[in-house]
């Protein structure tokens, strides 16, 4: 693990000398003022700060205080001039890990840095292990090989601790739920609940009670008090799925909660205050909904502070072999199977397929293949959905540019009649048309006639 060190000194020559002395072993950043240093601390991932005590627009002690308050994981070395031992003591008291008195030997600084870098590596390793452990404990798999998915994973680590609302968008099956779970597991909130609310499947009046809870007697049937999901998520995370389906009334109620963190239970007068991190997901185009007026723009901006788009699987096909392998292992374990791997042909076809159901569709296909296989290596015969052999040809209709709608319709009916052994009921059903219409079209297109 490379250690990133920020050197701060307003004396450019001194800074240069330090830089040359330790450059080869660390990733270095330099700042010549307090302001510049704070900017870098806020925007870069830094492990160790080495700062001179005197800066033209502040002091090393201020840096120390800033780091202590905002970025407590960073180690700080303060460099003081000879004769200011009191300030050195003061800096230790305010949390510096180490100090060096000028003039010092480069070897002394290097020794300090090596020790702190070791501590930092341990800290990083610990936090990585804690994260992995959390994911395992909660049974979350997040395969990340492609750069696109890696960036999303890293972003999740970066923003997990913040309380900012995140809006996760993407087609069905792309991993929105998984990402929401990651964000929860990566944060200290993992010790409290992760509460999911599906906004699409619950009718408006029930959703309100579900989210905010109700008091006894709030409506007919409310025979006792009930806490809402937001209360249950206190100090944890609330995940609002299918947020685009919220009615205007629920949108305004949610907006108030997001703005003030406050709400009342239904039928209640007592205002409740909870500490909840809100994550929202949608597979609808919310911006479009804002434009056509079906989604409040103020709520949209509230939710959209951090936006993460989960790409469709066809846009990160590099992950497919790794996803397949991880699903093989998952379903081996669940079904007591010993599938080893997959034929490269399957991967080739899978990387060309369009995956409308994305990762979920791939997972289902692999599950089916694992369950049905008797061989240690899965091949194309275990993936009928991917095959393009004679069997697939039977189920494929060749439509080319320039054909009329009538010709396409005729072909569709013909092919389906063959495939379904002339079962007209079944064909009418799959084509989603009436039986009478089907008979009329068969006659009109003279299907089955020489
Ligand atoms: N990166 C990944 N690695 C491994 N498995 C994944 C990954 N992303 C998603 N999955 C798996 O794919 C399936 C679908 O994921 P998920 O439920 O998160 O999708 P979604 O975007 O929430 O879908 P929907 O819009 O239908 O709610 C799940 O079974 C999940 O475990
Ligand atoms: Mg989902």
Residue 179 CA, closest ligand 1 atom number: 18
Residue with the smallest CA separation from ligand 1 atom 17 is 177
Q: Say how many Å lie between the CA of residue 396 and the centre of ligand 2.
A: 31
Look at 59-68, 226-235, 314-323 and tell me which has the smallest mean pLDDT.
59-68
Closest ligand to C-alpha of residue 179 is: 1
Cβ of 321 closer than 6 Å to ligand 1, yes or no, is: no
Listed in sequence order, the DSSP H helices in 242-307 are 248-260, 286-291, 297-303
pLDDT at position 390 over 60: no
Instruction: Give the pLDDT confidence score for residue 162 in this predicted structure.
Output: 85
Q: How far is the centre of ligand 2, averaged over its atoms, from the C-alpha of 294 (Å)? A: 21
Ligand approaching nearest to the C-alpha of 358: 1
Span 64-81, average pLDDT: 85
359 lines ligand 1 (CB under 6 A): yes
Instruction: Report the pLDDT value the prediction gives residue 88, as an integer from 0 to 100.
Output: 64
Assess whether the C-beta atom of 365 lies below 6 angstroms from ligand 1.
no
For residue 393, what pLDDT is reported? 57
Closest C-alpha residue for ligand 1 atom 12: 360
CA separation for the pair 283, 310 (Å, rounded): 10
**If you measure from the C-alpha of residue 260 to the centroid of ligand 1, how many angstroms do you get, rounded to a whole number?**
32
pLDDT, average across residues 9-35: 91
Q: Which ligand 1 atom sits nearest the alpha carbon of residue 326? A: 4
Atom of ligand 1 nearest to the CA of 177: 18
Provide the pLDDT for residue 87. 67
Provide the β-strand partners of residue 78: 51, 99
DSSP 8-state code for residue 261: S
Residue 391 pLDDT > 60, yes or no? Answer: no
Q: Is 244 in the pocket of ligand 1 (CB under 6 A)?
A: no
Q: Out of 45-59, 134-148, 283-297, 360-374, which region has the weakest mean confidence (pLDDT)?
A: 134-148
Distance 284 CA to ligand 2 centre (A): 12
Segment 172-198 shows an average pLDDT of 93
CB 102, CB 80: distance < 8 Å: yes
Cα-to-centroid distance, 419 and ligand 2 (Å):
34
**What sign for the dihedral angle of Cα 438, 443, 444, 446?**
positive
- The answer, yes or no, to whether any atom of ligand 1 lies below 6 A from the CB of 175, is yes
Measured CA to CA, the distance from residue 195 to residue 125 in angstroms comes to 29
Q: Is the pLDDT of residue 84 over 80?
A: no
* pLDDT tens digits, 327-382: 999 999 999 999 999 999 999 999 988 898 999 999 999 999 999 999 999 999 89
> How much is the pLDDT for 447?
86
CA of 177 to the centre of ligand 1 (A): 6
pLDDT at residue 428, rounded to an integer: 93
What structural domains and CATH numbers belong to the chain? 4-126 (3.40.50.2300), 147-309 (3.40.50.300), 314-392 (1.10.8.60), 397-444 (1.10.10.60)
The contacts found for 255-261 with CB under 8 angstroms, 24 or more apart, are 255/296, 255/298, 255/299, 255/302, 257/230, 258/165, 258/299, 258/302, 258/303, 259/302
Which helix (H) or strand (E) segment holds residue 112: the answer is helix 106-137
pLDDT tens across 95-152, in order? 666 788 888 899 999 999 999 999 888 888 887 787 777 777 777 889 989 999 999 9
- For residue 357, the ligand closest to its alpha carbon is 1
What is the pLDDT averaged over residues 316-337? 94
Distance 308 CA to ligand 2 centre (A): 14
The predicted model gives 168-181 an average pLDDT of: 96
């Amino acid at each position: 693990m490379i250690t990133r060190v920020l050197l701060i000194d307003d004396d450019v020559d001194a800074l240069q000398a330090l830089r040359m002395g330790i450059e080869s072993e660390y990733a270095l950043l330099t700042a010549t003022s307090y302001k510049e240093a704070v900017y870098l601390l806020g925007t870069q991932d830094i492990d160790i700060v080495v700062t001179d005590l005197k800066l033209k627009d502040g002091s090393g002690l201020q840096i120390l205080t800033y780091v202590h308050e905002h970025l407590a994981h960073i180690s700080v070395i303060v460099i003081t001039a000879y004769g200011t031992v009191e300030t050195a003591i003061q800096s230790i008291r305010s949390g510096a890990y180490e100090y060096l008195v000028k003039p010092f030997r480069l070897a002394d600084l290097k020794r300090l840095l090596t020790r702190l870098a070791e501590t930092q590596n341990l800290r990083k390793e610990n936090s990585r292990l804690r994260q992995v452990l959390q994911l395992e404990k909660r049974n979350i798999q997040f395969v990340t090989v492609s750069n696109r998915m890696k960036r999303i994973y890293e972003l999740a680590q970066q923003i997990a601790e913040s309380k900012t609302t995140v809006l996760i968008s993407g087609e069905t099956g792309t991993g929105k739920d998984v990402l929401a779970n990651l964000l929860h597991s990566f944060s200290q909130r993992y010790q409290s609940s992760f509460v999911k609310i599906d906004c699409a499947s619950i009718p408006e009046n029930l959703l309100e009670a579900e989210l905010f809870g109700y008091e006894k007697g709030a409506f007919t049937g409310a025979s006792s008090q009930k806490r809402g999901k937001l209360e249950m998520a206190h100090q944890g995370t609330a995940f609002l799925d299918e947020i685009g389906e919220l009615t205007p009334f629920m949108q305004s109620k949610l907006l108030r909660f997001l703005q003030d963190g406050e709400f009342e239970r239904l039928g209640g007068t007592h205002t409740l205050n909870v500490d909840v991190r809100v994550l929202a997901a949608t597979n609808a185009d919310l911006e479009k909904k804002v434009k056509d007026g079906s989604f409040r723009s103020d709520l949209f901006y509230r939710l959209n502070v951090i936006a993460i788009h989960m790409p469709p699987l066809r846009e990160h096909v590099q992950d497919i072999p790794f996803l397949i392998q991880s699903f093989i292992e998952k379903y081996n374990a669940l079904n007591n199977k010993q599938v080893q791997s997959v034929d490269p042909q399957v991967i080739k076809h899978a990387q060309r397929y369009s995956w409308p159901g994305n990762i979920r569709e791939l997972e289902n296909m692999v599950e089916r293949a694992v369950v049905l296989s008797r061989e240690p290596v899965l091949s194309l015969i275990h993936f009928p959905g991917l095959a393009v052999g004679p069997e697939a040809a039977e189920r494929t209709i060749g439509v080319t540019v320039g054909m009329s709608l009538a010709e396409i319709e005729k072909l569709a009916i013909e092919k389906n009649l063959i495939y379904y052994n002339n079962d007209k009921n079944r064909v009418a059903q799959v084509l989603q048309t009436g039986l009478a219409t089907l008979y009329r079209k068969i006659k009109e297109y003279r299907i089955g006639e020489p």
